[in-house]
Amino acid sequence: MNRRLFLGTFEREEDLLGATAEARQQGLRIVDVYTPYAVHGLDHAMGLAPSRLGRACFVFGLLGVGFALWFQFWASAVDWPINVGGRPWNSLPAFVPVAFEVMVLFAGVGVVLSFLLVSRLYPGKRAVVPVAEVTDDRFALVLEENDAAFDVDTVRRLFAAHHAVATEEREEQDPPPPPAPAPRSRVRINAALLVLLVVLVALNWFLTPDPGQPNREFLPDMARSVPYDAFAPNPNFPNGQTLQTPPPGTIPRGQLPLHYAATPEDALRAGRELINPLDGKSAQIRERGALVYANYCLLCHGPAGKGDGPVAVRGVPPPPSLLADHALQMKDGQLFHVLTYGQGNMASYASQLSREDRWSAILHVRALQQAGKGQP
Amino acid sequence: MNRDDFTFRAPRQAVRACTVLAAIGAVAVAAGLAVAPTETWASLLLVSYALVGLSLGSAVLIALQYVTGAGWGVALRRVPEAMALALPVGAVGILLVLVCAPSLYPWTSHTDAHTGHVSELKHLWLSRPFFLVRAVVYLACWYAFILALVRNSRRQDRDGAVSHTRRNVALSAAFLVVFGVTCWLASYDWVMSLEPEWYSTIFGLYAFAGLFLGGLAALTLLVLWLRRAGPLRRVVSVDHLHDLGKLVFAFSTFWVYIWFCQYMLIWYVNNPEETAYYIRRQDGAWQSLLVLSVVLNWGVPFLALLSRAAKRNAVWLGRVCAVVLLGQWLDLYVLIGPPFGQPTVQELALQAVLLLGAGGVFCLAVFRALGQAPLVPVGDPFLVESLPASSTAFAGRLAHNPGEEVCFPVTHEGRGGQQIGQAHPDRV
């Protein structure tokens, strides 16, 4: 079935707005209005419902914020926590900038895609231009004959009252005829783009840099720092080296020297000179001592210190009982020397146990000896 | 249509109420100075700075509209002009504080242990005579620009010459540049130097964001009042409110953006000199006030003005603007108050009375300025563009009958034409 369309062309925005509003008041069916630019108030004159894109935008923004906050929380507090200057892993202030940007990204891209989808502006969509001038300096109002009461003269009077510069009547097939094939110029442009793509892929393939060569450096300030590397020659020091030998007597931070050699004599001397800095009053230290004993000593010495640990039972030469007189008579300092340098079959535990842990283990041994008094 | 319709006469009750408030404020200042001078001076500084901010915010809005060639706000321009003309109210307060209460600023006493960390350059910059001269220069400079802009705008009412608009565009461009520098420096001088060891390079921008947001909120409230009270009823359309609402919404978000920029960098870098500022503001009652200030300045307006319908609703918009104004006061309180200790009820009461009193004086000054010229700039060539299209009393008649008794110049170019150059020649 064909439909009859009436086109009014206007020179001025105000005339178009007036004609559109009046046409709507008179109950005429407005097919569409064509303008060279967005005209304020036209949606109102046409009686269009407010856009729902704002709500879509809000939802996309919320999604973006939610996703970004969750991802940052998961990445920096759950999956791969990294200590940054002692800040909590889940630090909201640090997440805000990324959350903000992702919100903008989601809202922006989301709302554009929704708009294209809702307006059916798919790729390859053909533009509908009723009058070529609407792309330049004219405004066109298109009305449709909608029922039998439709009066052509009313439309003409309406157009004339609003200073229409041209009025035109058109018959249009419904559905509209299939679009003409794409013009040749567009085919050529698409072909050129395709060739360009192939060339770029080919270039990328052939110009792949040699993986054995270093990459090109762009702004290398961060990679090549001004200070001398630790082992680079350095003209500023008399010996020509960057890394200087520490002055005699220097000790690393947090490390205390221990002035005992790994000899039985020094073990005795340690027994005379050293006293346990910890005492058993603190439950925390007692628990620590029990833990250290359980992890490192129990395997050979056994849960009660009788030398019947799981390893000793299965063939490793068992150590003497810690409850024996010899062990009872050993001073704390002597035990510390044993833990630090080893004795007989027992190896040194200095690299596994900190000093505090060694002393706490000794506390536990004393507690075991106290508990096992009078037993063989 | 004649220009008498646009004469503003302040309602008697409003004038009386403002006068009473101003008197109460003056008594409160006198009493406060006798009982607790430091707190009173600090409060006076806060209130004066806030009022200067309202005037400056309006002046910047006028200048921005001239520079960008914006047409929508022309019909409302007399309102920001009047607010800008009230600059001396806050200026006198600021100068009074700076001259009479140097002890507010720790750097004025060189024996103070505080100054130990202040660098040489700061010592040079923060010398008292230079400091006072600078304050006078800033204020005089701003007022001179405001006077010139308003004078041109008012002259245009009489002769309708386009040259006034051209001159104001040039003046506005110059003002914006000068303002950009002086606003930055003034905020450093008057507020940041209350804690001289602390510094934040974004502080000037933060001050600008605050004063522009406050100015917009106050301006919107005033426009809403004039619209309800009469003179601007037919001039201010819902579209104008929508535009004002958008500006308040946008600059509320801009404000929180700058606020967060400052906060996050200081939080992240964790530099002792800088964190001291926020540590002081997270102590005791200040912490709640700090959070509340962000909620009032951004949280409330963001959620309340997000939808289009909300921005077009006069009552709703007015409420949000009142909240924003309160938020701006709170923001200044959190800026200025902490060096003088924890907030107390007496201090808040004094602040409230002072604020009402100063507001009364400010409103009187605004009323006076509004009464000096027609409430609508009837000679401005952009006026037609600014008037509501639905207002047939104006636009319809004006567009087609330029020879009638009409006091607006008319352009037939519509949007995007060369309005300035082609203002109608035979206007009345």
Crossing angle for the helix pair A355-371 and A332-341, to the nearest 10 degrees: 130
Range of weakest confidence among A71-80, A223-232, B258-267? A223-232
User: Backbone phi, then psi, for A81, in 5-degree steps?
Assistant: -65, 130
Minimum Cα–Cα distance from B269: chain A residue: A85
Give residue B111's pLDDT: 52
- Average pLDDT over every residue of B131-155: 93
Give per-residue pLDDT as tens, B11-31: 888 899 999 999 998 998 888
Give residue B409's pLDDT: 40
Task: Provide the shortest C-alpha distance from residue A151 to chain B (in Å).
Answer: 28
Task: Provide the shortest C-alpha distance from residue A93 to chain B (in Å).
Answer: 6
Contact A17 B389 (CB under 8 A): yes
Question: Shortest CB distance from B268 goes to which of A40, A54, A94?
Answer: A94
* Cβ-contact A288, A357 below 8 angstroms: yes
Give residue A175's pLDDT: 58
Task: Provide the shortest C-alpha distance from residue A267 to chain B (in Å).
Answer: 49
| B115 half-sphere exposure, CB direction, 13 A CA radius | 15
Range of weakest confidence among A291-295, A350-354, B345-349, B409-413? B409-413
- Is the minimum CB–CB distance between B269 and chain A shorter than 8 Å? no
Contact B414 A12 (CB under 8 A): yes
**How many residue contacts between A and B have a Cβ separation below 8 Å?**
27
Give residue B79's pLDDT: 92
What is the DSSP-derived secondary structure letter of residue A233? B
Contacts of B256 in chain A (CB under 8 A): none
Contacts of A40 in chain B (CB under 8 A): 389, 415
Start-end of H helices in A89-227:
92-118, 152-161, 184-206
Contact A14 B416 (CB under 8 A): no
Evaluate the CA torsion angle A286, A288, A289, A294 in order and state its sign: positive
Contact A13 B414 (CB under 8 A): yes
Q: Is the pLDDT of residue A267 over 60?
A: yes
Q: How far is CA A308 from CA A287, A367, B106, B373, in A?
A: 22, 18, 74, 106
- Is the minimum CB–CB distance between A50 and chain B shorter than 8 Å? yes
What span, in angstroms and rounded, lies between the C-alpha atoms of A107 and A58? Answer: 7
DSSP string, A302-352: -TTSSS--HHHHTTSPPPPPTTSHHHHHS-HHHHHHHHHH-BTTBPP-TTT
- Average pLDDT over every residue of B187-195: 89
A123 cis-preceded (ω within 30 degrees of 0): no
Range of weakest confidence among A325-329, B79-83, B172-176, B400-404? B400-404
More confident call, A2 vs B417: A2
Q: Is the pLDDT of residue B95 over 60?
A: yes
- Is the minimum CB–CB distance between A37 and chain B shorter than 8 Å? yes
Element (H, E) at B117: none
Contacts of B399 in chain A (CB under 8 A): 14
Contacts of B260 in chain A (CB under 8 A): 93, 96
- Average pLDDT over every residue of B310-336: 92
Give per-residue pLDDT as tens, A56-66: 999 999 999 99
Q: C-alpha angle B168/B169/B173, rounded to 5°?
A: 110
Give residue B117's pLDDT: 56
Contact A50 B263 (CB under 8 A): no
User: Backbone phi, then psi, for A311, in 5-degree steps?
Assistant: -75, -45
**pLDDT > 70: percent of chain B:** 87
Q: What is the mean pLDDT of chain A?
A: 87
Give per-residue pLDDT as tens, B201-251: 899 999 999 999 999 999 999 999 988 877 788 888 888 999 999 999 999
- Is the minimum CB–CB distance between A257 and chain B shorter than 8 Å? no
Maximum alpha-carbon separation in chain B: 75
Contact B415 A40 (CB under 8 A): yes
Phi-psi domain of A278 (left: phi exceeds 0; alpha: psi -120 through 50; beta: other): beta
- Is the minimum CB–CB distance between A137 and chain B shorter than 8 Å? no
Give residue B390's pLDDT: 52
Give residue A221's pLDDT: 76
Probe site for chain B from A11, A13, A14, A83 (most B CB atoms < 10 A)? A14
Q: Is the pLDDT of residue A172 over 80?
A: no
Q: Is the pLDDT of residue A249 over 90?
A: no
Contacts of A17 in chain B (CB under 8 A): 389
Give residue A136's pLDDT: 87
- Is the minimum CB–CB distance between B416 and chain A shorter than 8 Å? yes
Contact B307 A54 (CB under 8 A): yes
Contact A96 B264 (CB under 8 A): yes
Contacts of A97 in chain B (CB under 8 A): 264
- Is the minimum CB–CB distance between A43 and chain B shorter than 8 Å? no
DSSP string, A235-256: TTSTTSBSSPPPPTT---TT--
Give per-residue pLDDT as tens, B364-407: 999 999 888 888 888 888 888 888 765 544 444 444 333 333 34
* Cβ-contact B91, B59 below 8 angstroms: no
Minimum Cα–Cα distance from A12: chain B residue: B414
Give residue B118's pLDDT: 59
Minimum Cα–Cα distance from B260: chain A residue: A93
What span, in angstroms and rounded, lies between the C-alpha atoms of A19 and A162? Answer: 6
Q: What is the ipTM of this complex?
A: 0.76
* Cβ-contact B380, B162 below 8 angstroms: no
- Is the minimum CB–CB distance between A93 and chain B shorter than 8 Å? yes
Question: Shortest CB distance from A14 goes to which of B306, B308, B414?
Answer: B414
Element (H, E) at A30: strand A29-34
Q: How confident is the model at residue A129 (pLDDT cuts 50, 70, 90)?
A: confident
User: Backbone phi, then psi, for A138, in 5-degree steps?
Assistant: -125, 160
- Is the minimum CB–CB distance between A11 and chain B shorter than 8 Å? no
- Average pLDDT over every residue of B403-428: 39
- Is the minimum CB–CB distance between A163 and chain B shorter than 8 Å? no
Probe site for chain A from B261, B264, B269, B387 (most A CB atoms < 10 A)? B264
Give per-residue pLDDT as tens, B65-77: 999 988 888 889 9
Minimum Cα–Cα distance from B261: chain A residue: A97
Element (H, E) at A2: strand A2-10
What span, in angstroms and rounded, lies between the C-alpha atoms of B166 and B171? Answer: 9
User: Backbone phi, then psi, for A171, in 5-degree steps?
Assistant: -100, 135
Q: How confident is the model at residue B4 (pLDDT cuts 50, 70, 90)?
A: low
Minimum Cα–Cα distance from B266: chain A residue: A93
- Is the minimum CB–CB distance between B418 and chain A shorter than 8 Å? no
More confident call, A200 vs A222: A200
Query: A34: which strand partners?
Result: A140
- Average pLDDT over every residue of B153-171: 89
Give per-residue pLDDT as tens, B19-67: 999 999 899 888 888 888 888 898 899 999 999 999 999 999 999 999 9
Give residue A148's pLDDT: 66
- Is the minimum CB–CB distance between B270 and chain A shorter than 8 Å? yes
